Structure 1
């Protein structure tokens, strides 16, 4: 088990020990799905109402330090090309960060993360999640193709299935493509197509409509991206209004 894998599992374990369900996110998640992405942070999605509890859980880790740079930090800069996390800390005072994202911002279209998911068991997971160590659906390690499935034996870490991750990127692009911070969305969709679908670990036909049709159109490339993006946003009825926070059980 690599040091990075150990760190990912240890932070998930800290959150779960505080009864906070968490789902791996960001570039670590891409690595698990076989995308050779550079990892600059270890990110998790948590329930909105659990943010302060999660901050307290991470703050007890001696290897994590508070960020003192504010918006000057690349992780939280409003000038970045990805939405910043709701909270982050730095590992061993380095540039490597641990970030927390709210479900209402990233995977709002899924049912609320249940407290039971803080003790994930493979045979009890909802269909849209798998364990990061599940080698039956995630790719193995391949040189130059991300980490693949995490090794067995560590703390259990939740990840979205590949089709749910693709759905998330499509919905995020529909929401944010007009904004600077939405700039990476189309690249993430391309990564999923190039490294996950072409390798046989994603079936785009499993997307719900209208996303399935729009994904096919994007791959066919017959429409200008701007036109395709506008039509996608309209089809999804995108709104800027967020969901209300729920209390952390």
Structure 2
């Protein structure tokens, strides 16, 4: 597996090796990155279709990251409005993306769009409880019907948000995108986490912050009051100025 700045895309298949190489390339140009999207879900153990390798990066480094990935051989999007990865009605689109082929892409998400309450990625301590390495033994192994699971390569440099912080981010996104077409999307992702990851070594609801935990538990129990709890949390976050404007 080729890593770091000497990596060049030559139509490799989308898989752990390619994801590791992309992450390594970003690391080599000092662009901190966290795995995101459906690929992240499969590492957590969620069975889902993967059509991208997605990463969250600092806002002000999106252009240098995009340029480096293009220089490495990933393909610019020439499909304009016909590209499903640019369809704003389907799912929240990435800030920028490049193509692996017609269907698969490498996506870059701005931190302020999805993980705005997370610490600055450039100044994270080496051992941070909110971050996991993709080969962490606490992550599940690959299993039929349970996603790809943890990476087997060692050493592994691919980083991801821990499942607890990820669920909190999903709930924040639910609150931000209230009454929009994206609300259903975030709720579906959170439901997958409940179905496939809750109660495993990486996701204990008791470790969620209180406001998030109340809604999470209600969703888990199918409590009809869960939406009023979400509204209560949302209003509290607005009062505390912790929610950015939708599509800001």
Q: TM-score range by the shorter chain?
A: 0.7 to 0.9
Q: In the alignment, which residue of structure 1 is the partner of 2:50?
A: 39
The number of residues matched between the two structures is: 233
- In the alignment, which of 66, 82, 98 is matched to residue 76 of structure 2? 66
Q: In the alignment, which residue of structure 2 is the partner of 1:121?
A: none
Q: Distance in 1 between matches of 2:150 and 2:32?
A: 20
- Structure 2: state its 5+ residue gaps: 2-12
Q: Distance in 2 between matches of 1:138 and 1:219?
A: 21
Q: In the alignment, which residue of structure 2 is the partner of 1:240?
A: 244
- Decide whether the 8 Å contact of 1:31 with 1:146 is kept in 2: yes
Q: Relative contact order: is structure 1 or structure 2 higher (C-alpha 8 Å, sep ≥ 6)?
A: 1
Task: Give the RMSD, CA atoms, in angstroms.
Answer: 2.2
- 1:99 lines up with 2:107 in the alignment: yes
* Closer, same or farther: CA 71–211 of 1 in aligned 2, 3 Å: same
Q: In the alignment, which residue of structure 2 is the partner of 1:134?
A: 136
In terms of mean alpha carbon deviation, does 106-115 or 142-151 score higher? 106-115
Q: Which digits, 9 at most, give the CA deviation of each residue in 1:65-119, with x for residues without a partner?
A: 1001223211111211x2100000110x3210100000001111111111678xx
- 1:86 lines up with 2:88 in the alignment: no
Taking structure 2 as the reference length, the TM-score comes to 0.87
Q: In the alignment, which residue of structure 1 is the partner of 2:175?
A: 174
Aligned-pair distance for 1:232? 2.8
- Decide whether the 8 Å contact of 1:78 with 1:181 is kept in 2: no
Q: Runs (4+) of structure 1 moved beyond 6 Å?
A: none
Aligned-pair distance for 1:209? 1.8
- Decide whether the 8 Å contact of 1:24 with 1:45 is kept in 2: yes
In terms of mean alpha carbon deviation, does 167-176 or 146-155 score higher? 146-155
Aligned-pair distance for 1:226? 4.2
Q: Distance in 2 between matches of 1:85 and 1:4?
A: 20
Q: Distance in 2 between matches of 1:11 and 1:160?
A: 17
Q: Distance in 1 between matches of 2:14 and 2:81?
A: 29
Q: Distance in 2 between matches of 1:225 and 1:214?
A: 6
Q: In the alignment, which residue of structure 2 is the partner of 1:223?
A: 224
Provide the secondary structure at the position in 2 that maps to 1:45: strand
Aligned-pair distance for 1:214? 1.7
- Decide whether the 8 Å contact of 2:168 with 2:208 is kept in 1: yes
- Decide whether the 8 Å contact of 2:54 with 2:108 is kept in 1: yes
Taking structure 1 as the reference length, the TM-score comes to 0.86
Provide the secondary structure at the position in 1 that maps to 2:85: coil
* Closer, same or farther: CA 105–72 of 1 in aligned 2, 3 Å: same
